[in-house]
Amino acid sequence: MTQEVVEKLIDITNSQIKSLKSSHDYMSMILSSYVYDVAKVTPLTHALNLSEKTGNKIMLKREDLQPIFSFKIRGAYNKISSLTEEEKARGVVACSAGNHAQGVAYAARHLGINAKIVMPLLTPEIKWKNVQNMGSEVILFGDDFDGAKAECERLCKEEGLTNIPPFDDPHVIAGQGTVGVEILRQIRPSEVYAIFTAVGGGGLISGIAAYVKRICPQIKIIGVETVDSDAMYQSLKAGKPTLLDEVGLFAEGAAVRIVGEENHKVSSEFVDEIILVTNDEICAAIKDVFEDTRSVLETAGALGTAGMKKYIELHNLKNKTLVSVASGANINFDRLSFVAERAELGEKREVLVSVVIPETPGSFYKLYQAVHPNNVTEFSYRYSDSSKANIFMSFNVKNRALELPAILDKMTSLGFEVTDISDNELAKDHGRYMIGGKSHINDEHLFSFQFPERPGALNKFLSGIQSSWNISLFHYRNKGHDTGRVLAGIQVPPGPGQKDSEMPPNFYEFLKNLGYTYTDETNNPVFKQ
């Protein structure tokens, strides 16, 4: 698409261009961006199955079909194109372990510019090789993103390279804003009720919002974040960019601790709402998009669809036209099993329960009959007590609100103790894999940890365990990203003058020095069973 065609996409009158809180004229910047030298106009496709399921007209903006399978190519190329000839001659540098790295590498190759991409040491080989194959020099440095970022800053200062930021830059925002231009060209704007998109640092949503809200202010712009990585939600609530102490990494492409200053300015004026979703809801959205397109989105790429589905449910929307930006499809293959496992829970079509039944003949059959004719998808049991049997069980439902209460009531009427644990992360991550009977151990406390997937992480944990402490339980599970889930039972005798249930101060000092995210699960009902 030529520059002239882009500028003629929509006729902008002077009366439509008003001052923004930001000092930048994003309308002009977006319409005059150079993204189409490398990016393509992606289709806006009708998701027939999802439309029928939700009772609305669902349109998917297919940014997963870009040359690097992500929208990131737009902002990266527009930023690099804006550099002076002198800056281009010196070269560029970027810090990223994801789609931004590929966007910068692809853009630099097209423009014949030297590029260095700094990535953490433990970046999966497939990711850094993809960047390397695009002609950029890959520098593996640091144990995490902060370490890589420090090296990126050093290269800028010492070698005179220009940093290409992932989101907090007007040219990056303008490049991403071309997504909004295309949407309004591909569908009658008056039909659109809302546009949903993933939010990380805020580049994509601020670009789309800056354009769409100037043309069609009635269209809602709704951002989507995960419940444990909600930097934009917290920032808009606080009225300024807010630094998160920790971020969840499941939707790693949108996991940032703080949004950009410029992104916050634009979003605070034009974004209508931020909606938060769970990991299970993301997995369900990946499945929904797959069933309509046969494409597998990455977790961050499915945020828009997950948030759209939740918004529909919360507001009981019907007969509306909604656009969801499918922002990327660079998913790690080893994550697919986890996505498939959690999709049914996210769709609320699978129920996970903990049931205590008498250890007598016929009890299993009665339990099965309480669920029948629903399909049983999992049944975990091991003998441990002569009087009671503890069971983890999952089964499918078509209408959770109608079917589940009746099933639980039937189990209760049979004298079974039943608990719905579908939303219990301990059960989903660990409990269902650890059927072996309850252990009666004194002074045992249970903690779940997020271990970084790097050499020495387990050693750091074990070396800190004092000789008077004992590990009584240990279960590890990797979800296919850079942290693993660990459940650990630790016997810690109380300190002098403390009650049996109290933990000595030196144990909490150990947890603090460890530096890993943790949760005390000792009183979790799944553990108690």
**What would the two tokens of residue 28 be?**
């002009």
- pLDDT value of residue 3: 42
Residue 412 has pLDDT above 90, yes or no: yes
Residue 174 has pLDDT above 70, yes or no: yes
- What's the maximum distance between 2 C-alpha atoms anywhere in the chain? 83
CATH 3.30.2130.10-classified regions of the chain? 444-528
**What would the two tokens of residue 293 be?**
């397109």
What's the mean pLDDT in 314-322? 97
Residue 472 has pLDDT above 90, yes or no: no
Q: For 189-201, how does the pLDDT look when each residue is reduced to its tens digit (9 = 90+)?
A: 999 999 999 999 9
Rg (CA), the chain: 26
Angle between helices 279-293 and 303-315 (to 10 degrees): 100
pLDDT band per the 50, 70, 90 thresholds, residue 274: very high
What's the mean pLDDT in 437-446? 70
Residue 386 has pLDDT above 90, yes or no: no
Range 348-423 has CATH code 3.30.70.260: yes
CATH says 92-160 is which class? alpha beta
**What would the two tokens of residue 404 be?**
């589940």
Q: Give the residues across from 127 on adjacent strands.
A: none
Q: Provide the sign of the torsion angle of the four alpha carbons 228, 229, 232, 235, taken in this order.
A: positive
Per the model's pLDDT, the better-predicted residue between 373 and 71 turns out to be 71
Angle between helices 203-215 and 261-270 (to 10 degrees): 40
Question: What is the β-pairing status of strands 115-119 and 137-140?
Answer: parallel
CATH 3.30.70.260-classified regions of the chain? 348-423
Q: For 110-119, how does the pLDDT look when each residue is reduced to its tens digit (9 = 90+)?
A: 999 999 999 8
CATH 3.40.50.1100-classified regions of the chain? 3-65+175-343, 92-160
Question: How many of the other CB atoms lie within 10 Å of CB of 367?
Answer: 24
User: How far from each other are the two terminal CA atoms of the chain, in whole angstroms?
Assistant: 63
Average pLDDT, rounded, for the chain:
86
Q: Tell me if residue 418 falls in helix, strand or coil.
A: strand
Residue 289 has pLDDT above 60, yes or no: yes
Q: How far apart are CA 245 and CA 443, in angstroms?
A: 30
Question: What is the β-pairing status of strands 388-396 and 376-381?
Answer: antiparallel
What's the mean pLDDT in 505-511? 84
**What would the two tokens of residue 369 be?**
């009959």
Residue 99 has pLDDT above 70, yes or no: yes
Q: How far apart are CA 382 and CA 118, in angstroms?
A: 49
Catalytic site positions: 72, 327
DSSP 280-328: HHHHHHHHHHHHHHS----TGGGHHHHHHHHHHHHHT--S-EEEEEE-B
Angle between helices 261-270 and 170-186 (to 10 degrees): 30
Q: How far apart are CA 353 and CA 526, in angstroms?
A: 10
Q: For 221-272, how does the pLDDT look when each residue is reduced to its tens digit (9 = 90+)?
A: 999 999 999 999 999 999 999 999 888 888 888 988 899 999 999 999 999 9
Range 3-65+175-343 has CATH code 3.30.70.940: no
**What would the two tokens of residue 507 be?**
């144990």
Q: For 125-168, how does the pLDDT look when each residue is reduced to its tens digit (9 = 90+)?
A: 778 888 999 999 999 998 767 778 889 999 999 999 999 999 99
Q: What is the DSSP letter of 229?
A: B
Q: Give the residues across from 222 on adjacent strands.
A: 196, 273
Q: Thinking of the domain 444-528, which architecture would CATH place it in?
A: 2-Layer Sandwich (3.30)
- pLDDT value of residue 511: 86
Q: How far apart are CA 193 and CA 312, in angstroms?
A: 11
- Residues sharing a CB contact under 8 Å with residue 33, sequence separation 6 or more, in sequence order: 6, 74, 78, 171, 174, 175, 177, 178
Q: For 114-230, where are the alpha helices, taking DSSP H only? A: 125-133, 145-159, 170-186, 203-215
Least confident range from 200-214, 458-472, 476-490: namely 476-490
* Ramachandran angles phi, psi of 11, nearest 5°: -80, 115
